Amino acid sequence: MRCTKSLFTLLAAGLLIAAPLAAQADPAEIIDERQEFMKGLGQQLGVARSYVQDGEGTAADVAEAARTIAERAGEIVALFPEGTGMHEVDIETGARPEIWEDPDDFAAKAEGLSEAATSFAELAESTEDPAEIGAGMAALGRDGCGACHRTYREELD
């Protein structure tokens, strides 16, 4: 009886652990989470765009947004588990198969985004000049976001 009770307890604990993992394994949910995450990064970049183009906000707001991008960049790789690319699911994700073919380079590009965003934050902390911040924003787009998108993102209509 004691053995059966222990076995039942182990099985129940295993189900409690496995259930959330199984739910998290739904590619559509992971893709939705990933797309929302990326939109969130875009919104942070929008803070800089608003400052440069419309004079809205402050350079400190831009620096804070850039630091958020830098911190969140470390989460990107985990948002691309096997089985969630356009080549694997019937969902237009924009995620090219090269992500999974060269995961080390993909991770390096995510780290590059973090470094570029950190540099941009430092720039925004050192000046309030919209032209300088605009140049920094362009560098972040080119060297951070763009470096990954050029290789790993399919442009969708």
**Per the domain annotation, does 97 fall within a domain?**
yes
Does residue 10 lie within any of the structural domains? Answer: no
Q: Contact at 8 Å (CB) between 31 and 91?
A: yes
What pLDDT score does 22 carry? Answer: 41
Count of beta carbons in the 10 Å neighbourhood of residue 22: 10
DSSP symbol at 91: S
Asked whether residue 113 is domain-assigned, the answer is yes
Mean pLDDT over 35-64 rounds to 97
Give the model's pLDDT for residue 157: 58
Question: 105 lies in which domain range?
Answer: 27-152
Q: Is residue 4 part of a domain?
A: no
Please check whether residue 3 lies inside any domain of the structure.
no
Residue 153: the pLDDT is 93
Is 131 part of any domain?
A: yes
Q: Which residues contact 134 (CB under 8 A, 6 or more apart)?
A: 52
**119 — pLDDT class (breaks 50, 70, 90):** very high
The verdict on residue 5 lying in a domain is no
Looking up residue 90, the CATH number of its domain turns out to be: 1.20.120.10
Q: Between 15 and 127, where is the model more confident? A: 127
Asked if residue 14 is part of any domain, the answer here is no
Q: How many structural domains does the chain have? A: 1
pTM above 0.95, yes or no: no
Structure letter (DSSP) for residue 57: S
116 pLDDT more than 70: yes
The residue whose two tokens read 């073919």 is 101
